[in-house]
Structure 1
């Protein structure tokens, strides 16, 4: 079943949305998602201030120019490995989007200690600092590679997912609540294969495909931002939210990028899967569908902080799991071409 491209631009948040007029901090705020979220916040949420927390001064400088030094933005150089710096940055913050992470699969296979320090210990720092600072809600970004992980990156992100979900136990007698959103590959994100393929095609080179059978999930940046905004509005704490998004064959994506290029099978890289998964069979036992099938929610197993099952949720089918090769909606090469041409 092929899904045609529809209007994927962000909708303005309702006047009652909790982020409206708030003080928001974004870790990893100079990344692709961070910049897209900041743009949405400035355009639609009338924030009191948005704090950009990241460790690279050059990227902060470039992002300041991108937003023309908007006076609602604040700039904190800092690493999530540094809990003291997080405490300072979180003063009087209402809501946190946690997007900071080390993300390259092959890099993680060769630098495991660094990935653990940032993705695991850094996540613990964010949880503890947010509780101490009295932050109201935190949404952490995850990845499909955290479901049934086979690589170091995925294992660190699964651990981070658990840290945020179970962090609600530590925050039970406080106001702070944590939730996680998990999604697949993002079009237009930094590190995407798409610009590399375009450059190779312009030089007349063959495009390397990591196994012609590979399938992946695909989400646009506006969809990812909207998902986080929606999660802040509906979360009680402890939810792991997954979008119902299309799959695609990696071969079709390559053909959408460069229709005339020759494709070469170069094999899977270290730690890479043939097909990705966003909800494992075990997680599927706790999954429900909300908003007419727009999102799945994996509800918490041990909600000792007072979580109540979602009233409008529908249970998934027995034995459900969400994998890119078993999906019920797909993008073909023409759909992917339209997504790329839309620039989102």
Structure 2
């Protein structure tokens, strides 16, 4: 699919972008364009990949249609990763989140149609499901825009891929917990009941590439992800990094936070199918005949919703996923 093609990655200097580039380069694309507004992050990434000639770095902002349209020229595939993601920042500055997450997505759609891109892959989040914070609201709108855009052209196909928290990404809570445990011997916790989905960045990118190849456009692929209580995650990290007993300070849920995240809502579950062992696929209510034919024979899910407190990892399973993420190196602390 990607051999001898031109690929654009928006927001490509982040953790997802780095891992995505690592896995795309062996597939022999003609060119990978990294589109972002952070000059220093681009310089660092260029050095990290030893000035690889297949990488092209383009300064620009998804809010700027002219910059986006220019970057998209001759592009075959777009991975749309660019977003403002930090929930409290989006709560405090909603107009900025709107510009990047909604208007930026509109610019990607318009430019892709203009330049006849083959496929646009939008990376979404569990926070877009029944959203209660502004970040989630903007990503939910972004999903709707992307899925609706699939009806605008027979040439350009649009798909959403939805996942939860990815270990090792910028802003991940795990390095923060490690630093608090090791250096301050205290950890702030919003609630002892809070649960979250987790996946390693390598696993997430593998699933992203697979779904990108399988999707025909007009659908939402949902990554199956393991989940855990945040208090259990802290306990595993304490066993690995604490030099003395730690204190957990329960601070209460912050504005815009949920106790449990959701990857498939009650309303979506009636149009959700089991794609394979790693994915569910959600069809829109107005799915095209092509989409219905592609997925209509798959088994429908039997759950009413897919939520992070449905099935929780044990301490040992949390430890294993942290090892896969290269965050810890030892194991056998738990039976």
What is the TM-score when the length of structure 1 is the normalising length? 0.90
In structure 1, the residue matched to 2:331 is none
In structure 2, the residue matched to 1:213 is 193
1:305, CA displacement in angstroms? 7.7
Q: 2:180 aligns with which of 200, 206, 210?
A: 200
**In 1, Cα distance between the equivalents of 2:135 and 2:184?**
33
Q: 2:10 aligns with which of 22, 27, 31?
A: 27
In structure 1, the residue matched to 2:260 is 275
**In 2, Cα distance between the equivalents of 1:146 and 1:138?**
18
In structure 2, the residue matched to 1:299 is 283
- Is residue 118 from structure 1 mapped to residue 103 from structure 2 by the alignment? no
- SS at 2:273 equivalent: strand
**In 2, Cα distance between the equivalents of 1:158 and 1:145?**
8
Give the alignment of 1:78-227 within 5 angstroms: 78-171=60-153, 174-227=154-207
Gaps of 5+ in 2: 327-335
**In 1, Cα distance between the equivalents of 2:196 and 2:300?**
25
**In 2, Cα distance between the equivalents of 1:234 and 1:157?**
22
1:311, CA displacement in angstroms? 5.7
Give CA-to-partner distance per residue, 1:21-46, whole Å, 9 cap, x none.
Answer: 3211000000110111011111x311
**In 2, Cα distance between the equivalents of 1:100 and 1:257?**
30
**In 2, Cα distance between the equivalents of 1:295 and 1:228?**
10
Whether the aligned pair in 1 keeps the contact of 2:199 and 2:321 (CA below 8 Å) is no
Give CA-to-partner distance per residue, 1:144-202, whole Å, 9 cap, x none.
Answer: 0000000000000000000101111222xx31000001111110110011111111112
Report which structure shows greater RCO (CA 8 Å, sep ≥6). Answer: 1
Gaps of 5+ in 1: 1-17
**In 2, Cα distance between the equivalents of 1:269 and 1:68?**
42
1:262, CA displacement in angstroms? 2.5
**In 2, Cα distance between the equivalents of 1:114 and 1:305?**
37
- Is residue 67 from structure 1 mapped to residue 49 from structure 2 by the alignment? yes
Give CA-to-partner distance per residue, 1:224-255, whole Å, 9 cap, x none.
Answer: 11122112211111110111211100011111
Give the aligned length: 320
**In 2, Cα distance between the equivalents of 1:277 and 1:231?**
20
Tell me whether 195-204 or 123-132 shows the greater mean CA deviation.
195-204
- SS at 2:34 equivalent: strand
Tell me whether 190-199 or 295-304 shows the greater mean CA deviation.
295-304
- SS at 2:151 equivalent: helix
- SS at 2:58 equivalent: strand
- Is residue 262 from structure 1 mapped to residue 244 from structure 2 by the alignment? no
In structure 2, the residue matched to 1:37 is 20
Give CA-to-partner distance per residue, 1:248-293, whole Å, 9 cap, x none.
Answer: 00011111222343322111111000000011000111000012x3
1:334, CA displacement in angstroms? 2.3
In structure 2, the residue matched to 1:6 is none
What is the CA RMSD across the aligned residues, in angstroms? Answer: 1.4
- SS at 1:248 equivalent: strand
- SS at 2:74 equivalent: coil
Whether the aligned pair in 2 keeps the contact of 1:290 and 1:312 (CA below 8 Å) is no
1:312, CA displacement in angstroms? 5.6
- SS at 1:258 equivalent: helix
- SS at 1:169 equivalent: coil
- SS at 2:295 equivalent: coil
**In 1, Cα distance between the equivalents of 2:314 and 2:268?**
28
